[in-house]
Structure 1
Amino acid sequence: MQQVKSVITEFRGSHYDFGLDQAEWLKSTLMMENREREWRLRRPRFDIDPQETEAVYKRFAPKIWEELLGIQDGLKLSLEQVLLNFGHYRVYAKESGCSVFTTEDYLVRNYDYHPATYDGRLTFFQPNDGGLATMAPVSRITGRMDGINEKGLVMGYNFMHRKKPGDGFVCYMVGRLILETCATIDDVVDLLNELPHRSSFSYIVLDPSGRTKIIEITPRDVVVRDHHYCTNHFEVLTHENRRVLTDSEMRMQAMTEQVTSSLSAEQAFHTMNNPAAGIFSDKYASWSGTIHTSCYFPKELKALFALGGNQSPVGLDFGKWLDGHALDVTMLRGQIDCDITFASE
């Protein structure tokens, strides 16, 4: 059993300055060294086209492009190196897990992936040059895998498959774009219909009105459906599903039997976070172990968060931070049952 931690950071200011700030944080970690080793072991199966990437960012997220330039200036890297590691356009996705449940009042989810890809960082960010303020765990520095924004829009995503990838944004940058540019579920649907998508995922969104939508996406199709449960198989785009869905279907059954709207958010959280319940996964070496459990409250602008299983969640008050109050906590601690370290360690 390994003790793990995730630092909580905050930043109020421009995207470019946020990029510079993240570059300074990167210098204090082993993340760049670990990323270089990863690329030596796993050669990229995609091309980097700086002009195309700049054009698509300037269309959908021009301020995040400025953040990338801030990282470039802070780390003194070439633009190609920055886009390879932090651009998240045209990237090849590994298989992973993840389970999500929503009610009118909260979204609870298990983030399942490989620990060596996990930044170990959760960021409060309030830009002053455009875009919505967000609170979210960080993926590959510039991406977000779930989270909440100042409008109370909540997002999480689940991997579906990596067949026939296209040219486009990967999941964690799509998640960032949703949180930073969308105020309503209708905004999310419009954005996801416009964005170019690299791989196939379901994006689950909840807003303060209590509406939930699951948007099934491949590089070829976008379908919106109403439901409150999601694991790792499509319910509409079934022709796009992987051949083997046993684990996804087992977690779906375990979730629908145990996690219902009759439960409080705390009860649902503990069920999702309990390895004995059959939803939490310990398959870390297979890229599908549960690293964190999170629960977001759109109406209250709050969250619960825990690293690893059977943990007491830490409460995070995003609304209070937006009002100018200091963070109550700056570190999350937990444990996971493997010896694979986080990307920044």
Structure 2
Amino acid sequence: MLVSLQCVKEDKVGEKWQKCFHKSWPYYKNWYLQDNLLARPGYLTSVGQLEKYMPELLPIYEEVVRLAGGGDLVARYLSMYNPPAFMSGCTQVAWNKPPFSLIRNYDYNPKWFEGNVFCTNWLKPVMGTSDCNWGLLDGINGDGLAISLTFGGKTISGDGFGIPLIMRYILETCTSTADAVACLLKIPSHMSYNITIIDKQGEYRTVYLFPGKTPFVDFEKVATNHQQKMEWSAYEEMTLTRERKQFLDEMIAVPGISREQMQSKFLYAPLYNKDLYKNFATLYGVQYDIEELSATYFWPYKSIKQSFDNFKEERVHVNINNLNKRDFGKG
């Protein structure tokens, strides 16, 4: 199973973004219409909610809709208001000892991975892993604010935005962890997610989002795929969410453990997942370095480093099926 990661630099939304959109649109279209179009909010409702909660993004929204070909369906999809449910299995930690960093693994079905890393300057410099074409799974901005998401482990969905667009909005408009938390407290998410944030001062929080309820803000460095109360035992068992969190909590408590040692743990079980039969494999790991304003994407035997000052447009391929050359289970 080949995972491909394409690194794209484009300051403003343009032809490069358009090309990426048209490549992935057939798959996103099928996903968006899985419950038929009537299940999704209308255009006026969607744009009205975007204007209410994320008005700074409206000019960019209008441009992405135009470059995507326009029309009602595209406009409703790109608003990311009340999209279909989606979930993933991820692990993340805010490293608040110098040099400050955010480290995470992203576990998902490789067949549905967009595979783009964008370096942009829409409202401010932002670099991160793309999802839903103009949203983000994780990223860092020019102010040294880094953010990452994990699925919260609850099946309930409600009225709100798809989390990738909220992530994009935070990095486009916020400069600190406090700013990001304030955004998460006011913008509704349509599903439960755990958002870990760290800024250039080393201030960190994990915010637990749940549709229809006030988010819970915690001084928590580690997030996996559950919140305070576990409600989906089958998902907990499949993703080993509690085992992963316990493992990282124990690693953080080890006296003298370095950031490099911590990052290396993400290449071993239980954090590293290569069980393709569950349709949740570790597609990439990434470490955002706050001081360097850089992102290092890593896999067993391979890594690439990007930064705002030195961003190289390239494509990297990783064959997950060939990552069995050594035992990752004894890390």
What TM-score, normalized by structure 2, do the two folds share? 0.86
What residue ranges of structure 1 are gaps of 5+ in the alignment? 322-326, 339-345
Q: Which residue is equivalent to 2:262?
A: 268
Summarize the alignment of residues 175-190 of structure 1 with structure 2, pairs less than 5 Å apart. 175-190=167-182
Residue identity matched to 2:108: Y
Q: Which residue is equivalent to 1:103?
A: 95
Indicate yes or no: 2:1 matched with 1:10.
no
Summarize the alignment of residues 151-300 of structure 1 with structure 2, pairs less than 5 Å apart. 151-219=143-211, 220-235=213-228, 238=229, 241-244=231-234, 245-246=236-237, 247-258=240-251, 262-274=256-268, 277-284=269-276, 286-300=278-292
Q: CA deviation at 1:232?
A: 0.9
Q: CA deviation at 1:25?
A: 3.4
Q: CA deviation at 1:285?
A: 5.1
Task: Look up the SS of the partner of 1:161 in the other structure.
Answer: coil
Q: CA deviation at 1:76?
A: 2.4
Q: CA deviation at 1:93?
A: 2.4
Percent of aligned pairs with the same amino acid: 19
| 1:311 alignment partner, one of 301, 310, 313 | 301
CA contact (8 A) 2:144 2:293 kept: yes
Residue identity matched to 1:208: K
Deviations 1:226-270, CA, capped at 9 Å, x for gaps: 1211111113xx2x6433433111212333344667333333222
Aligned pairs, number: 314
Q: CA deviation at 1:134?
A: 0.5
Q: 1:42 to 1:113 in 2, by over 3 A?
A: farther
Distance 1:73 1:228 in 2: 40
Distance 1:213 1:301 in 2: 19
Q: CA deviation at 1:217?
A: 1.1
Q: Which residue is equivalent to 2:326?
A: none
Distance 1:209 1:22 in 2: 32
Q: 1:279 to 1:25 in 2, by over 3 A?
A: closer
Q: Which residue is equivalent to 2:325?
A: none
Distance 1:271 1:152 in 2: 24
Residue identity matched to 2:76: L
Task: Look up the SS of the partner of 1:188 in the other structure.
Answer: helix
Deviations 1:46-100, CA, capped at 9 Å, x for gaps: 422211221222233335333333233223241323322x322102323321001
What residue ranges of structure 2 are gaps of 5+ in the alignment? 323-331
| 2:54 alignment partner, one of 61, 70, 78 | 61
Residue identity matched to 1:138: S
Task: Look up the SS of the partner of 2:183 in the other structure.
Answer: helix
Q: 1:260 to 1:123 in 2, by over 3 A?
A: farther
Residue identity matched to 2:181: V
Distance 2:84 2:302 in 1: 34
Distance 1:42 1:251 in 2: 33
Indicate yes or no: 2:68 matched with 1:75.
yes
Distance 1:44 1:74 in 2: 21
